[in-house]
């Protein structure tokens, strides 16, 4: 157990789910050396609950002009060895992109060998990390299979043999321990310091919905080896929910304006940066859908978000918070 491994958990206003996640991290059969808790300026008394549960020893200041980091220690529930708790309280909500940027940057600079990335609503089983690390020589990034809470169905699809598989039994039928070039980033994603050194940190400007895809594409572009470990399980609520096809382009059905804005803007940015074909497909599909259905207000909303992505205009999502 020479490698130093640190989990990075980004949280915002889900204090009870956060505690469930942290408790599961402390029960890993392959113990962690550290946990970064990136608190995105939660307003639901998250720090108070962390204090009550022994994860932190003091509350952060009520008002902050910049993020602060405090280090505490708690016992591993598997072998009673100490785990360093790095509690980062953000001065504002920076979304998952800002949170993972902070966690990856700080964990990398602290000298951890592997960073294990996840949102606060995911739950690893006791052997999740052990199964990932068993394959440490096979890839730069290792991701668990993400299962829907309380079931053996997938919460997110896995790309294999030119199609997306959503059925767990189909994954089993492949008899593959590792499925390369596919991963559900930020859902039990174990990433090596070596690939972080090569590709840098997550893009902190994207806020939500697309930030994980940008990091995945960037790592692949720079020659990083990415694989999903099919016997490493991570439980999570339902993934992208209902999806529909617009002129052959499958997209999630999003009613929340914040998520819709970020999805369109970030998809446009990713398309411009990595795939001109997907950029054009995105524009034509949405333009046809909104105009053919006489949804002119929605079309102009789409066009505004799309142009923001093309010209990398960041920060406008805050008006939808």
Q: Tens digits of per-residue pLDDT, 194-204? A: 999 999 999 99
Q: Determine phi and psi for 84, rounding to 5 degrees.
A: -75, 130
Read off the tokens for 220: 């692949």
Q: What is the mean pLDDT of residues 179-191?
A: 95
Percentage of residues in the chain with pLDDT exceeding 70?
A: 94
> Would you state the pLDDT for residue 269?
96
> Would you state the pLDDT for residue 250?
57
Q: How many CB atoms lie within 10 A of CB 255?
A: 8
CATH 3.30.930.10, domain 5-236, yes or no: no
Q: What is the mean pLDDT of residues 155-179?
A: 87
**Model's pTM, two decimal places?**
0.91
Of 43, 270, 219, which Cα lies nearest the Cα of 115?
219
Angle at 59 between CA 61 and CA 34, to 5 degrees: 115
* Dist. CA 15–CA 80, nearest whole Å: 24
Confidence class for position 36, pLDDT limits 50, 70, 90: very high
Q: What is the mean pLDDT of residues 147-172?
A: 84
Which range of 83-87, 155-159, 250-254 scores highest in mean pLDDT? It is 83-87
Of 158, 193, 151, 164, which Cα lies nearest the Cα of 178?
158
> Would you state the pLDDT for residue 156?
84
Of 152, 139, 153, 264, which Cα lies nearest the Cα of 191?
139
Mean pLDDT score of the chain: 91
* Dist. CA 253–CA 130, nearest whole Å: 36
Confidence class for position 45, pLDDT limits 50, 70, 90: very high
Q: Where exactly are the structural domains of the chain?
A: 5-236, 243-320
> Would you state the pLDDT for residue 1?
59
Instruction: Give 158 or 23, the one with higher predicted confidence.
Output: 23
> Would you state the pLDDT for residue 246?
53
Read off the tokens for 101: 């940027």
pLDDT digits (tens, 9 = 90+) for 266-302: 999 999 999 888 889 888 887 887 787 777 788 889 8
Per-residue pLDDT at 131 exceeds 90: yes
Strand, helix or coil for residue 89: strand
């Amino acid at each position: 157990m020479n490698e130093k491994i640190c989990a990075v958990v980004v949280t915002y206003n889900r204090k009870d789910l956060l505690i469930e996640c942290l408790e599961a991290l402390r029960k890993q059969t392959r113990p962690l050396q550290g946990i970064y808790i990136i608190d995105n300026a939660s307003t639901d008394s998250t720090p108070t609950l962390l204090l009550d549960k022994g994860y932190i020893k003091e509350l952060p200041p009520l008002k902050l002009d910049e993020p602060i980091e405090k280090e505490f220690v708690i016992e591993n529930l598997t072998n009673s060895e100490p785990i360093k708790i790095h509690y980062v309280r953000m001065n504002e909500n920076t979304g998952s992109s800002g949170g993972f940027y902070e966690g990856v940057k700080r964990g990398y600079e602290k000298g951890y060998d592997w960073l294990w990335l996840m949102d606060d609503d995911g739950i690893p089983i006791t052997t999740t990390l052990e199964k990932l690390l068993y394959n440490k020589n096979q890839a730069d990034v290792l991701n668990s299979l993400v299962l829907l809470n309380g079931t053996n169905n997938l919460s997110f699809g896995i790309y294999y043999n030119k199609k997306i598989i959503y059925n767990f039994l189909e994954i089993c039928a492949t008899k593959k321990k590792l499925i390369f070039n596919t991963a559900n980033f930020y859902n039990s994603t174990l990433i090596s310091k070596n690939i972080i050194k090569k590709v840098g940190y997550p893009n902190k400007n994207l806020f939500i919905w697309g930030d994980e895809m940008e990091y995945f594409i960037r790592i692949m572009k720079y020659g990083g080896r990415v694989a999903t470990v099919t016997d490493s399980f991570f439980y999570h609520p339902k993934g992208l929910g209902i999806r529909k096809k617009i002129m052959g382009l499958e997209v999630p059905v999003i009613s929340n304006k914040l998520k819709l804005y970020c999805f369109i803007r970030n998809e446009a940015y990713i398309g411009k940066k990595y795939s001109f074909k997907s950029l054009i497909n995105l524009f034509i599909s949405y333009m046809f859908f909104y105009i053919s259905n006489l949804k002119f207000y929605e079309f102009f909303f789409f066009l505004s978000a799309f142009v923001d992505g093309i010209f990398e205009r960041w920060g406008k999502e805050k008006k939808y918070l």
